Amino acid sequence: MNNLIFLGPPGVGKGTQAKMCAEKFSIPQISTGDMLRSAVKQGTPLGVEAKTFMDKGELVPDRIVIGLIAERIGEDDCKKGFILDGFPRTIVQAEELDKLLSKKNLPLKKVVSITALDEELVKRLSGRRTCSSCGEVFHLMFNPPKTADKCDKCQAKLFQRDDDKEATIRERLKVYKSQTSPLIQYYGNKRILEEIDGSLEIGKVFGLICDAIGNSR
Ligand code: AP5
């Protein structure tokens, strides 16, 4: 079963690659970042609380994201597998996920750890633009839209995420190193970790990931 985690620093391409793999393998991409942004947009109590952390580039409290994931992986479309994009992000989240998956008898197949240098990550996040309607992600230099500021797929306006300002990006990178990078060893010890060079172009990274998770391209 394709139960996968995509792990890596902000801007390394987790969302881009998770979306491509989700389409290819017909399994859902579950992004805690997207779920939280949707709650913020709707102005739910959870969204209002999460926003205070997200705006500063800090992690949202474990209890909030663990609750979101517990509910989501119980849904029917996860029965054939899923890609967790941006979860877990702390050892506590990883331990809670282990408990949840073992209760449901859903073993993890692989944890894909994508890496790139900080300066590349800052460039990618500063140039990222997202569609305000369908959520498609572009980059001003590396993956530009055909028409400036417009989504290629649905023509809606593109916007820059609030947390993609340089000071917040630097904070997110610090948080990744202190709170999330210990997960590399955590999953390395379980022998399900696959390390992928995320500095290559999008199509090449996708090929490496497909090979690593054992599905032909
Ligand atoms: P989240 O939305 O998960 O943000 P992130 O982890 O910081 O990751 P990003 O979405 O910024 O980057 P990505 O790796 O997906 O890169 P992308 O593919 O877009 O989380 C946001 C916030 O929510 C967190 O800060 C936290 O507050 C909270 N949160 C979320 N999950 C949480 C959790 N589990 N616990 C607690 N808090 C949580 O690519 C980036 C850009 O680069 C794009 O423009 C893309 O086109 C381009 N690009 C991608 N790949 C390449 C390539 N190979 N070459 C050139 N350009 C590329």
Give the span between the Cα atoms of 36 and 140, in whole angstroms: 25
Out of 59, 69, 120, 130, give the residue to mutate to test ligand 1, the one with the largest number of ligand atoms within 8 Å of its CB: 59
Angle at alpha carbon of residue 148, lines to 36 and 43, rounded to 5°: 20
- Ligand 1 atom with the smallest distance to the CA of 204 is 53
Q: Tell me whether residue 205 is in a domain.
A: yes
CATH number where 204 lies? 3.40.50.300
Residue in the structure block whose two tokens are 């849904």: 75
Q: Tell me whether residue 49 is in a domain.
A: no
- Ligand 1 atom with the smallest distance to the CA of 58 is 27
Q: Tell me whether residue 200 is in a domain.
A: yes
* Ligand 1 binding site (Cβ under 6 Å of any ligand atom): 8, 10-16, 32-33, 36, 53-54, 57-60, 65, 86-87, 89, 93, 124-125, 128, 137-139, 142-143, 163, 172, 198, 201-202, 205
The pLDDT of residue 185 is 98
Q: Which pTM was predicted?
A: 0.96
The pLDDT of residue 215 is 58
Residue 72 falls in the annotated catalytic set? no
- Ligand 1 atom with the smallest distance to the CA of 54 is 27
Q: Tell me whether residue 203 is in a domain.
A: yes
Q: Tell me whether residue 91 is in a domain.
A: yes
Q: How many domains does the chain have?
A: 1
Query: What residue numbers bound the domain in which 98 lies?
Result: 2-27+80-116+173-213
Q: Tell me whether residue 47 is in a domain.
A: no
Q: Tell me whether residue 144 is in a domain.
A: no
Tens digits of pLDDT across the chain (217 residues) = 789 999 999 999 999 999 999 999 999 999 999 999 999 999 999 999 999 999 999 999 999 999 999 999 999 999 999 999 999 999 999 999 999 999 999 999 999 999 999 999 999 999 999 999 999 999 999 999 999 999 999 999 999 998 999 899 999 999 999 999 999 999 999 999 999 999 999 999 999 999 999 854 4
How many other C-beta atoms can be found within 10 angstroms of the C-beta atom of residue 199?
15
Burial class (CB in 10 A: 0-12, 13-18, 19+), 216: exposed
